[in-house]
């Protein structure tokens, strides 16, 4: 695959996984549409993650991929800590909107870096992986968590039971 072809393919993958049309169902941004605090902060059990947690986690890993691609130093993420973050004391719509906004900013920043990478950078190694594999992995990460979010939304908002005669 030529470098420009790799760039176009990786950008399309990032877009489909985050906010583009996809055949498989909701992408990451789509899975967050209409999210309300009661659902965003729902935890299916002790020590389990909420949708809110996953939004910040996804934003953080977009930052990590961008940082690895650019060589930027650690410690410049918008929130203190890494990977998973403590939920705020107040489970408000404002907190949900702020998390979604951070995810959007980190996605756009990652996309900009991929657009600007030199042609030879996609085959360059970043630790064990090539830059192409790391970027592709970021898209897969979005889809993985989009699926988790869909499940958490269903668990947080159970559908009413159908009458017994209608169950298959």
Give the pLDDT confidence of 28-42 residue by residue, as tens digits: 999 999 999 999 999
Which residues face 130 on adjacent strands?
125
Upper half-sphere CA count for residue 75 (Cβ side, 13 Å) = 1
Question: Which stretches does DSSP call E strand in the chain?
Answer: 125-126, 129-130
pLDDT interval class at 23 (50, 70, 90): confident
CA distance 63 to 59: 6
């Amino acid at each position: 695959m030529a470098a420009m072809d790799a760039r176009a393919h990786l950008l399309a993958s990032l877009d489909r996984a985050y906010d583009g049309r996809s055949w498989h169902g909701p992408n990451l941004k789509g899975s967050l549409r209409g999210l309300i605090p009661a659902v965003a902060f729902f935890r299916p059990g002790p020590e389990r993650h909420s949708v809110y947690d996953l939004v910040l986690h996804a934003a953080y890993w977009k930052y990590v991929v961008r940082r690895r691609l650019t060589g930027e130093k650690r410690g410049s993420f918008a929130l203190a800590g890494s990977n998973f973050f403590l939920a705020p004391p107040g489970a408000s719509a404002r907190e949900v909107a702020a998390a979604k906004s951070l995810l959007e900013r980190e996605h756009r920043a990652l996309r900009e870096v991929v657009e600007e990478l030199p042609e030879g950078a996609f085959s360059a190694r970043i630790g064990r992986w090539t830059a192409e594999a790391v970027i592709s992995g970021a898209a897969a990460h979005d889809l993985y968590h989009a699926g988790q979010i869909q499940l958490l939304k269903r668990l947080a908002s159970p559908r009413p039971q159908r009458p017994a005669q209608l169950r298959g």
